[in-house]
Amino acid sequence: MIRVVKIGGNVVDSPALLAQFCTDFSALAGPKVLVHGGGVKAGAIQRALGQEPVRIEGRRVTDAATLEVVVMAYAGWCNKDIVARLQACGCNALGLAGCDGGVITAPKRPPKTLSDGVTQVDFGFVGDVTPASVDAEFLRQLLDAGLVPVLCAINHDGHGQLLNTNADTVASCVAAALGAELIYCFEKAGVLRDAADGSSVIPRISAADFARLRADGTVSDGMLPKLETAFRALEDGAPRVVVCHAANLLNPTSGTVLTLNGE
């Protein structure tokens, strides 16, 4: 069984967490893929460069200057730092953006209509990744060769344009395309029944459970899109999703297991 592991900015930004995670990820047996977010580095560089983030109705616009920074931060520093750390742990990591070997090719997001129902806004150099965007055969060739693909969320449109995409979505689509288990590593022990109680981990969630947890407000805020993305991976071919603390990668049963039917 192939495993796709996703780490977010909270792990990438913490030298201690990242060092521990790289050791653990290297020790994880079997074929595996890592997908990483970019953390706060891109924002810090933007501020240092005096770039003003542009937002329309709360959503960030990726203009040319922003794209350059996110490509530098995610595909440059974060990706190569992680790959070099994994190599030092004996893990034969290979860093990839979507353009590399054409591993992920996604169309640029079309303009969206604003809340006035009329105004069309182009959110810039952003791509929408689906499982069909992923060259699963190429990833399998790399895995068969003993390599460990390390994907950042920078992709391309196949016509020479780099695009910023969402790392949770990239991980979900890669897992679906590979029929792989998906492990979301983050800073909590799993999906919590009570956000204030770190020990209130819900051990298993089915699609029916998720509908109830969403309806009664147990799952809300940032966890909602993460679980929506996770259930989309299940619907698209991933056999199961685990949501766990980054420090528990080697003990993922400590977290929450998501399956369509609860088994």
Q: Smaller CB distance to a copy of itself: residue 71 or 219?
A: 71
Least distance (Å) between residue 15 CB and a copy of itself: 11
DSSP state of 53: P
Gap between the Cα atoms of 155 and 79, Å rounded = 13
For residue 243, list its beta bridge partners.
184, 256
Q: In a 3-state reduction of DSSP, which class is residue 155?
A: strand
Q: Least Å distance between CB 169 and a copy of itself?
A: 19
d(CA 59, CA 223): 18
Q: From CA 19, how far away is CA 23, in angstroms rounded?
A: 6
| Minimum CB–partner distance for residue 139 and a copy of itself (Å) | 13
List the one residue out of 211, 126, 145, 130 whose CA is nearest residue 175.
130
By beta-carbon proximity to a copy of itself, the closer residue of 142 and 242 is 142
Nearer to a copy of itself, 61 or 147 (CB): 147
Q: 154-156 and 162-164: which strand pairing?
A: antiparallel
Nearest CA-CA partner of 247 in 203, 178, 198, 174? 198
Least distance to a copy of itself from the beta carbon of 183, Å? Answer: 23
Which residue ranges make up the site for a copy of itself (CB under 8 A)?
45, 48-50, 68, 71-77, 79-81, 83-85, 87-88, 92-95, 97, 99-102, 141, 145, 147, 154, 156, 158-162
Nearer to a copy of itself, 2 or 93 (CB): 93
For residue 37, give both structure tokens.
């977010």
Min CB(149)–a copy of itself separation in Å: 10
Cβ proximity to a copy of itself: between 138 and 228 the closer is 138
Closest CB 147 distance from a copy of itself, rounded Å: 6
* Token couple for 83: 């790959």
Least distance from a copy of itself to the Cβ atom of residue 221, Å: 31
Tell me whether residue 36 or residue 156 sits nearer to a copy of itself (CB atom): 156
Q: Which is nearer to a copy of itself, 76 or 237 (CB)?
A: 76
- The CB-of-261 to a copy of itself minimum distance in angstroms stands at 39
Q: What's the angle, vertex CA 82, arms to CA 76 and CA 84, rounded to 5?
A: 95
Helix (H) or strand (E) holding 168: helix 167-178
Cβ neighbours, 10 Å, residue 47 = 12
Query: If we measure between CA atoms, which residue out of 4, 2, 8 comes closest to residue 245?
Result: 8
Give the residue with the Cβ less far from a copy of itself, 135 or 209.
135
Q: What angle do CA 184, 190, 196 make, to 5 degrees?
A: 135
